Structure 1
């Protein structure tokens, strides 16, 4: 289904706001944690506030996409915003860490829909060839919001109270819900199967929850009998989930689509790019502070070149694909550029900060060239009926990769001689090298404009 130019502008404004809300809440709480501990106490349990959101977000992504395909993307997106707003209000009223963590868990369930469904909505309203230009700015919004989250969280905490981090979502969420009802096309209600894949949703949620909890525990306490046992249990549950989804009549996560070479390679590219980019982003501020002996503010500001590169990359590749239809050169060039930048960061030592900033910008630019294209290509290969599930699957794979990658990179830093961060950049370079191979294997075909 297509929309008019005016309708697309309204749709774009709506999805920008929704995407920003979902992306901000992944990082906005980090800088407020000291203030939360001061007011609510329980420093040993404050990590629950962050872990609960990440756990719910990752676990709910497959279900959010599948529910959108079954009941309509507009309806499920509006419901997701409602859950997100109500739980945000509850977060702001929290009187102890336990209540705040529970409210954050509910907020993450709504946040999953905010991050997955906008891209699925675009798949139903915009032809594939034009979709890259439409999704490019949304990818830029996600990148900017992710980096701006800690800065905004710290500013609100210093200016007023950490509670305003959550209360700010109430008016913004209300505006987003109104825009969804006005601007998002209702579309034809999909032909719903007889039963929703509840078993698959539960198994996938359990596997995702185990993944988040195990990686968090390993990062805090290392490997020991309890974490090894938990990791083994998570692997068993994940295997059971995949086995179930392969034979389910209408699976939450259509793993059989991985038989399609294009969908599989796009998932692998999303995984490689997620680990490579977000693994570097997680450690750049600390690396700059420790190696260059700068302030925390300067360390945070070094994320801005990465963000600027991503913004330039997603928009340049999106508009180029809309004009010419050819998309395959961008993943190939993007992985080569990001991989080269990461390799240079691993080997330069204490280069001047302007050189570091330039290399980080190139890393962001390379990733931006393909991060949204792989979504459109996978949606096109998976078909309109599965747009939500395919989009959710890509997001799920990327988030799982980021979670595991952060834990692995943290372990590498801890074991490196002299606290060197070179292993972080070297690992990112290897991820992009793998992505380069996946990109070369992608079929060379054009996206259609109808």
Structure 2
């Protein structure tokens, strides 16, 4: 009688405390996801203290790019060395890098520390997700992955709220100091919970060359975009060289992945239309989600004159709406066995909501909150439906790889979204600042503009700067809405299949038999 039950959890030993493991993993995932956006609301304060408006985008994107590149490598290393040891290394690196971030005295020091923090944070997320597959039976895995998605989304959006209050009552350095007690708790729980988890013994050829090409190529393109935002001419030899090197690196990465025995990114799986479309929609979804968690509090401060704590509090409607939309999406999928209508509704409403944010003044608290709720619900609808559609489109033995690919798409979308939109914002702010500043180009224009805009008074000078900044934010939001319009065109082409295990799917299987 026990033989039929064995496949449901082939790797799970009977003495592993599943709920204790899940608690520790969720704490690790929360740490990794929180750092994606916790600095968003205090970016102006950090930039003013460290004199680094030019490099402001990299405070966030350095973490995201580093964590994105190492995510697949950590997963494969943990197959060889064991989840417990690799996750322990990730947490220790994350905590040590957090200390370095808190003690940074210049913007370059902070960016380097954030890169190290991202190298640890990528392991927190990827190894935790792989561990869930080890200890949870396949039939119940969707439920726990839903918990993970919820923790990830809430942590990503709650980051600015927590960061704002820590910065207001203590200082911006406490957004990094707080990671030390949380990381130590996660370390103790993970070490204790995973001590009975065996090493799988599976051998992998880790594609280090592919990871290096991807990281170098993506960094080259993002640095090119950053230089454009800083006002450098696209015809400068150094700027052209960065773009060329980045594109060559990405082309070589694709070539390497096609020939690698165990590639970093399984490009062959992207040949499945449903997988490709869902990865694209999740990329665009996190492109907007992480970028909005950065741009909205920045707008509330620069244009609306709000303090860091007030700007953080005003993000709560968006923070709460995302998990509610994700929960509703999961319930509707369980009831109907369909995912395409949910994805289509979400990706159609999102650009409308972003356009609404562009034209609702940041001082209008209630209308802005209502629009943020609509945006949060539209994003929440897409998160579980995209993941489940991907898992449903591949054979059961490839569900793990498909899930990792969607996680990679989300991380990459967040990294690119923050880098691109923040860079465009800096360029727009510089252009607007030139019209209201007596300075002529360079970082001084941005510093002068931010200081005047965040002045507590409403005298003519500050009002003119805020008006110029609002024009820049409005253009940026309209550009962001235009990017999000890509998703509906692809989702309309999505071929829907009845979900495995749903009532409709069971009826179809019975009819076929």
Q: How far does the alpha carbon of each residue in 1:88-133 deviate from its partner, in whole angstroms, 9 at most, with x for none? A: 3444455766555443322210011223333343345446675454
Give the number of the structure with larger relative contact order, counting CA–CA contacts within 8 Å between residues 6 or more apart.
Answer: 1
Structure 2 partner of 1:276: 288
For residues 409 and 37 of structure 1, the distance between their equivalents in structure 2, rounded to whole angstroms, comes to 17
Structure 2 partner of 1:201: 211
- Paired residue for 2:316, among 304, 312, 316? 304
Q: Superposed, which structure 2 residues align to 1:53-202 within 5 Å?
A: 53-68=63-78, 71-92=81-102, 100-126=110-136, 130-157=140-167, 159-160=169-170, 162-183=172-193, 186=197, 189=200, 191-193=202-204, 195-202=205-212
Worse overlay, 205-214 or 398-407: 398-407
Instruction: Tell me: CA distance 1:270–1:307, structure 2 relative to 1, closer, same or farther (3 Å).
Output: same
Secondary structure of 2:197 counterpart:
coil
> Is contact 2:291-2:417 (8 Å) kept?
yes
Q: How far does the alpha carbon of each residue in 1:132-167 deviate from its partner, in whole angstroms, 9 at most, with x for none? A: 543334333333333433443354455555554333
Q: Could you state the TM-score of these two structures normalised by the residue count of structure 1?
A: 0.83
> Is contact 1:270-1:397 (8 Å) kept?
no
- Alignment pair present for 1:366 and 2:378: yes
For residues 369 and 40 of structure 2, the distance between their equivalents in structure 1, rounded to whole angstroms, comes to 23
Over the residues paired in the alignment, what is the CA RMSD in angstroms? 3.8
Which protein has the larger Cα radius of gyration, Structure 1 or Structure 2?
2
Gaps of 5+ in 2: 1-7, 433-466, 507-513
- Paired residue for 1:398, among 410, 413, 432? 413
Worse overlay, 79-88 or 241-250: 79-88
Structure 2 partner of 1:410: 425
For residues 17 and 350 of structure 2, the distance between their equivalents in structure 1, rounded to whole angstroms, comes to 36
Structure 2 partner of 1:378: 390
Shift of 1:376: 4.1
Structure 1 partner of 2:350: 338
Instruction: Tell me: CA distance 1:390–1:448, structure 2 relative to 1, closer, same or farther (3 Å).
Output: farther
Instruction: Tell me: CA distance 1:78–1:295, structure 2 relative to 1, closer, same or farther (3 Å).
Output: closer
- Paired residue for 1:438, among 467, 486, 490? 490
Shift of 1:293: 5.8
> Is contact 1:132-1:319 (8 Å) kept?
no
For residues 333 and 93 of structure 2, the distance between their equivalents in structure 1, rounded to whole angstroms, comes to 36
Secondary structure of 2:36 counterpart:
helix
Q: Superposed, which structure 2 residues align to 1:228-267 within 5 Å?
A: 228-267=240-279
Worse overlay, 75-84 or 422-431: 422-431
Shift of 1:17: 1.1
Name the structure where helix makes up a greater proportion of residues: 1
Structure 2 partner of 1:355: 367
For residues 420 and 338 of structure 1, the distance between their equivalents in structure 2, rounded to whole angstroms, comes to 20
